[in-house]
Amino acid sequence: MSMSGGGYQPPPPPGGGGYQAPPPGGGFQPPPQGMVSTSSNNDATIALVCGILSIICCGFVTAIPAIIFGNRVRKDPNNPQQGFGTAGFVLGWISIVLSVLGGIAWVILMIAGGTASTY
C-alpha cells in the first residue's frame, strides 16, 4: 500500500527543536494555590521608611505604622522583602522605647527643676 498518490500524511512529531508559540496571556502564570502573598512589596518599603523616620524625627507618628506594616510583612512567608519589613518593625519598637524613655527623663527633669532652690 503506497501513499504517494495524494493521500493523507500525518503531521510531523512535536519537539523538533523549532520555535513554539508562547502560552496564551503573554506567559504570565499566576502563583500556585497556597502561595499567594497577603502583603505587597510596598508594605515592606513603607515599614522601613516609617521606621527610619520614627528614629530620626517623627517618633510615635511613624513608629506605629512601621510596626503595623512590618508585622504584616513578617507574617507573610512569601514576601521577598522580609528583611525590610523586619527592619521597619524593629526600628518602630526602638523608636517607641526611646520616646517613652525620653518622656520619663523629661518628667524627672521637670520635677527636679521645680524643687531646686534658687538662693
From residue 56, give the alpha-carbon distance in Å to each of 51, 53, 70, 77, 98.
Answer: 9, 5, 18, 29, 11
Q: For residue 82, give the nearest of 36, 116, 45 by alpha carbon.
A: 45
Confidence of residue 47 (pLDDT cuts 50, 70, 90): very high
Asked whether residue 54 carries a pLDDT value surpassing 60, the answer given is: yes
pLDDT value for 92 = 95
More confident residue, 9 or 100: 100
Residue 117's pLDDT band (cuts 50, 70, 90): low
Average pLDDT, the chain: 80
CA neighbor of 56 nearest in space, from 17, 95, 30: 95
CA distances from 60 to 5, 52, 65, 92 (A): 87, 12, 9, 8
Q: Which amino acid is at 90?
A: V
Structure-model confidence comparison of residues 52 and 12, the more confident one: 52
Please state, as a whole number, how many other Cβ atoms lie within 10 Å of the Cβ of residue 55. Answer: 16
How far apart (Å, rounded) are the C-alpha atoms in residues 103 and 93? Answer: 15
pLDDT tens digits, one per residue of 78-111: 888 888 999 999 999 999 999 999 999 999 999 8
Burial of 54 (0-12, 13-18, 19+ CB in 10 A): buried
Q: pLDDT category, 28, cuts 50, 70, 90? A: low
